Structure 1
Amino acid sequence: MSAARDYGLDDDYEWPRPPVGGWTADDLDELPNLPPHTELIDGSLVLVSPQTRFHARALYLFESALLGQVPGEWDVIREMTVKLDKRNRPEPDVLVMRADADAGPRQTWFRPEDVLIAVEVVSEDSEDRDREVKPRKYAQAGIRHFWRVEENDGLPVVYVHELDPATRTYGLTGIFHNRLKLTVPFPVDIDLTAIDRRR
């Protein structure tokens, strides 16, 4: 099977050729026929592999749990890009962002200053990006909280990081198995063992 067909494209699809200096964050909305969830990292397009069941269930768990717990000035959305700078527009799996940052149904990205929490669920093809590249970029852009979600025996393990504004780096504040219970940035209580619960 061809790489194009892996992404739901015709075999004769011609992949976009990057301009000198790479793509920009604004190009991501203009390039035709990109596969869903294409990200921009350092001016290069990053295509994601097919989603695993764990990844899909984890996204649903965190999105639905956070929607029920965020204070009114915040909102939750999944798989939306954040325009960090001219050459970087990653797509966190789940975002907690300012409710008033909603620009309408055709919006495709958020500003980093509108994001409170970026959540990444680590996949086999994204380990380096989710563990090293993206957290560094999120911290440099000033996103205050970063959660990395890893799979262990079918259950999520959450690594919670908080921004040190003086150094623009993240510090690990906790590793959570079975239950994610926090008071910062707002009270959060998520039963991580409920990942496969349908209701």
Structure 2
Amino acid sequence: MSAAREYGLDDQYEWARPPQGGWTADDLDRLPNLPPHTELIDGSLVLVSPQTAFHMRAMRLFENALLGQAPDTLDVMREMTVRLDAKNRPEPDLLVVRADACIGPKQTWYSPDVVLLAVEVVSEDSEERDRDTKPRRYARAGIPHFWRVEEDRGLPVVHVYELDVTTKAYQPTGIYHDKLRLAAPYDIYVDLTAINRRRP
């Protein structure tokens, strides 16, 4: 039985009507015809607007830098969801995860306990989620590092946070312009002015 019939849906767009109690994390893998990059926040489906050139270039810059400098025990994933709980499955722009958490080509999500870093590149339509909603949830789920990337005159500005495990809240550790150099979650250097280069 298809997911649409399971929920009593007979039109491809009827998934917009949530069942009583809202959607669950498992529904993201079962609902037909969901737009790409649909997230689940508090049981509601969140649809993503088309991405800007800055957003795409920022993701490319950070993905290349993070992957190129990661130890063999870690992997970098782009636009994969994290199942925080039954009602929340957000999709960070980038994740650094334990390499042994990758279980195969059909995997669609990670659990927060294997995530070392979540990165969100702020978009106009997601400012509130990227600056407040999602980082609070990442922190409560125990993800130790979070970066929020903002755009300033075409260049990325990186706001870096580290988890205070006693309060389950992120504490800011720095704001980076031009160059990003960190020792955690591993030794990382990013030339932020290289965002428009087509090759690393």
Unaligned runs of at least 5 residues, structure 1: 1-11
1:107 matches 2:107: yes
Distance, in Å, in 1 between the alignment partners of 2:30 and 2:41 is 16
* SS of residue in 2 equivalent to 1:25: coil
Q: CA deviation at 1:13?
A: 5.0
Per-residue deviation, residues 35-75 of structure 1 (Å, max 9, x unmatched):
00000000000000001000000010000111111111100
TM-score normalised by length of structure 1: 0.93
Instruction: Write the distance in 2 (CA, Å) between the matches of 1:14 and 1:104.
Output: 30
Cα separation, 1, equivalents of 2:22 and 2:103: 28
Q: Name the CA distance, whole Å, in 2 between partners of 1:83 and 1:136.
A: 14
Q: Does the residue aligned with 2:106 lie in a helix, a strand or coil?
A: coil
- Runs of 4 or more above 4 Å deviation: none
Show the counterpart of 1:76.
Answer: 76
Number of corresponding residues:
188
**Which residue number in structure 2 is paired with residue 180 of structure 1?**
180
| Aligned-residue offset at 1:83 | 0.2
**Which whole-Å CA distance do the structure 2 matches of 1:198 and 1:28 have between them?**
33
Partner of 1:14: 13
Show the counterpart of 2:138: 138
Counterpart CA distance in 1 for 2:34 and 2:157 is 32
Which region of structure 1 is more displaced relative to structure 2, 67-76 or 33-42?
67-76
Match of 1:160 in 2: 160
Residues in 2 aligned to 1:192 and 1:129: alpha-carbon distance in whole angstroms: 24
Between the aligned partners of 1:34 and 1:15, the Cα distance in structure 2 is 10
- How far, CA to CA, are the matches of 1:14 and 1:125 in structure 2? 22
Distance apart, 1:185 and its partner CA: 1.7
Question: In structure 2, what is the equivalent of residue 126 of structure 1?
Answer: 126
The one-letter amino acid of 1:134's match is K
One-letter amino acid of the counterpart of residue 90, structure 1:
P
For structure 2, list consecutive stretches of 5 or more residues without a partner in the other structure: 1-10
Distance of 1:30 and 1:57 partners within structure 2 = 31
CA RMSD of aligned residues (A): 0.9
TM-score, with normalisation over the residues of structure 2? 0.93
Write the distance in 2 (CA, Å) between the matches of 1:185 and 1:55.
23
Separation of aligned partners in 2, 1:147 and 1:126? 15
Give the partner amino acid of 2:132. E
**Alpha-carbon separation, structure 2, partners of 1:13 and 1:150:** 35
Q: Distance in 1 between matches of 2:14 and 2:96?
A: 33
Name the aligned partner's letter for residue 14 of structure 1: Y
How far apart, CA to CA, are the structure 1 residues paired with 2:189 and 2:34? 37
**Secondary structure, aligned partner of 2:66:** helix
1:163 deviates by 0.2
Identity %: 70
The answer to whether the aligner puts 1:97 opposite 2:107 as a matched pair is no
The code of the aligned residue for 1:180 comes to: L
User: Residue type of the partner of 2:66?
Assistant: L
Look up the equivalent residue of 2:13 and give its one-letter code. E
